[in-house]
């Protein structure tokens, strides 16, 4: 009898192991409300899907960039698996023949001529029929290209430890107005077709612009940014804005002098109107101000300028969202409806609503995604662990994608909510 019971038990185990189980990456059918904290994707709120390594077809959890092809497929750059393409049902790796595009992907874009570019360990261009690898000699021996940009004349710009202009036929190395080589961080174009770049190293940062003939370096003694430039954007009036951190004390957005006993100042926001630089400083009494950093910024559809800031380390935690309407600043933090205590990403969707991702508290390890609907902040997703988001993206169907550093992809589909 004992042997029979053992046999029945073993048979039961075998049968149960063959029963299909729900996997991460599938949408939840009857999930809880979005304010519920989650630790696994089975508890996602309505409309949300989580794609994670080995359980959804995703082959890498670090999503570095997102791009949508004209056929509707969404392309994802990763840190170790090259490019993954999602067709609405599953992930594939379509470009395995591109040897140098199988590791870290910096950026993917299509230019105005229809050519597709991939910035990876090498630079690739697809002309509609064939993939071309850009020779190293065209980039003065450099391989990896972290920054790509197309200007209004159709020229491509590639930022490395130096800057290269590609006119469709040849690449020209720009002679930058700063002695030591600095990595190019951001590239934009202003209303006068001047190219702006932010450059930086571990010790210094600079901003320069190119008027078509020569480069002009903007010097800190004239009010230009010089430390940890994280953001470079242009507003609808043609002003150029920068965001940085670790700036020494000055006037804050509320008009107070900021600084602390460790000799630091607040995260700095600066605006260039074509002639002069003007500085704004973020202050928040509850944190160590010399550690607060502007992490990202954008200009929305109606012209408001937004920045997000945050710091979380052993000594300090804090930050918020800062909005300038052309006259006044509005600071969003936990005192007026913002759940995130420190914010690292911001994005505007097609409806003009603002999305942010950040950390809730210093010690609770929770991450939150929130949306501003023009009146209030709505917490869309609260994750019960510390997650660093790299990118927010909206596809043509209106789906929102959130790529993380180590937690795969989160997708929000409003139509399935």
pLDDT band of 181, cuts 50, 70, 90: low
Q: pLDDT value at position 138?
A: 77
pLDDT band of 1, cuts 50, 70, 90: very low
Q: pLDDT value at position 143?
A: 63
β-bridge mates for residue 393, sequence order: 401
Q: If you average pLDDT over every residue of the chain, what do you get? A: 79
Provide the phi-psi class of 57: left if phi over 0, else alpha when psi is between -120 and 50, else beta: left
Q: Which residue in 116, 121, 84 sits closest to 99, CA to CA?
A: 121
pTM of the shown model: 0.83
- Enumerate domains of the chain plus CATH numbers: 95-218 (2.130.10.10), 220-386 (2.40.128)
Question: What distances in angstroms separate CA 399 from CA 237, 262, 284, 349, 387, one per listed residue?
Answer: 30, 45, 35, 10, 20
More confident residue, 291 or 130: 130
Residue 255 confidence (pLDDT) above 50: no
Average pLDDT of the segment spanning 172-197: 86
Q: pLDDT value at position 14?
A: 36
pLDDT band of 8, cuts 50, 70, 90: very low
Q: Which residue in 347, 341, 278, 265 sits closest to 306, CA to CA?
A: 347
| Cα–Cα dist 125/403, whole Å | 24
Q: pLDDT value at position 122?
A: 86
What tokens were used for 16?
A: 């149960």
- Yes or no: say if 320 and 358 are a contact pair by the CB < 8 Å rule: no
Residue 251 confidence (pLDDT) above 80: no
Q: At 43, phi and psi to the nearest 5?
A: -105, 25
| Cα–Cα dist 349/332, whole Å | 19
More confident residue, 293 or 120: 120
More confident residue, 143 or 102: 102
């Amino acid at each position: 009898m004992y042997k029979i019971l053992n046999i029945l038990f073993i048979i039961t185990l075998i049968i149960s192991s063959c029963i299909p189980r729900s996997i991460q990456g599938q949408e939840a059918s009857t999930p809880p409300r979005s304010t519920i904290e989650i630790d696994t994707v089975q508890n996602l709120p309505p409309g949300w899907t989580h794609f994670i390594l080995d359980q959804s077809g995703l082959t890498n959890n670090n999503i570095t960039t997102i791009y949508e092809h004209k056929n509707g497929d969404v392309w994802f750059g990763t840190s170790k698996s090259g490019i993954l393409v999602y067709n609405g049902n599953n992930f594939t790796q379509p470009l395995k023949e591109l040897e140098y595009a199988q590791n870290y992907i910096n950026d993917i874009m299509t230019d105005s001529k229809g050519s597709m570019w991939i910035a990876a360990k090498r630079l690739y261009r697809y002309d509609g029929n064939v993939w071309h690898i850009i020779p190293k000699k065209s980039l003065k021996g450099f391989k990896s290209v972290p920054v790509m940009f197309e200007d209004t004349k159709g020229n491509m710009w590639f930022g490395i430890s130096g800057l290269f202009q590609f006119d469709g036929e040849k690449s020209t190395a720009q002679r930058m107005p700063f002695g030591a080589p600095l990595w190019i961080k951001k590239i934009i174009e202003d209303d006068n077709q001047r190219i702006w770049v932010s450059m930086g190293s571990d010790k210094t940062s600079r901003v320069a612009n190119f008027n078509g003939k020569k480069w002009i370096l903007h010097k800190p003694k004239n009010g230009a940014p010089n430390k940890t430039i994280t953001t470079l954007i242009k507003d609808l009036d043609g002003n150029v804005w920068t965001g940085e951190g670790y700036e020494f004390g000055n006037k804050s957005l509320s008009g107070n002098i900021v600084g602390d006993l460790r000799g630091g100042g607040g995260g700095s926001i600066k605006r260039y109107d074509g002639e002069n630089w003007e500085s704004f400083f973020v202050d928040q009494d509850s944190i160590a101000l010399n550690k607060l950093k502007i992490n990202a910024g954008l200009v929305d559809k109606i012209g408001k300028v937004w920045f997000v800031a945050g710091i979380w380390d052993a000594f300090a935690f804090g930050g918020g969202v800062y909005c300038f309407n052309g006259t006044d600043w509005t600071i969003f933090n936990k005192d007026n409806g913002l759940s995130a205590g420190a914010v690292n990403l911001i994005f505007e969707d097609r409806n003009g609503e603002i999305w942010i991702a950040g950390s809730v508290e210093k010690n609770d390890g929770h991450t939150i995604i929130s949306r501003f609907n023009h009146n209030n902040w709505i917490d869309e997703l609260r994750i019960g662990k510390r997650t660093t988001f790299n990118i927010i993206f909206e596809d043509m169907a209106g789906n929102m994608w959130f790529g993380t550093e180590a937690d795969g992809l989160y997708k929000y589909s409003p139509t399935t909510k």
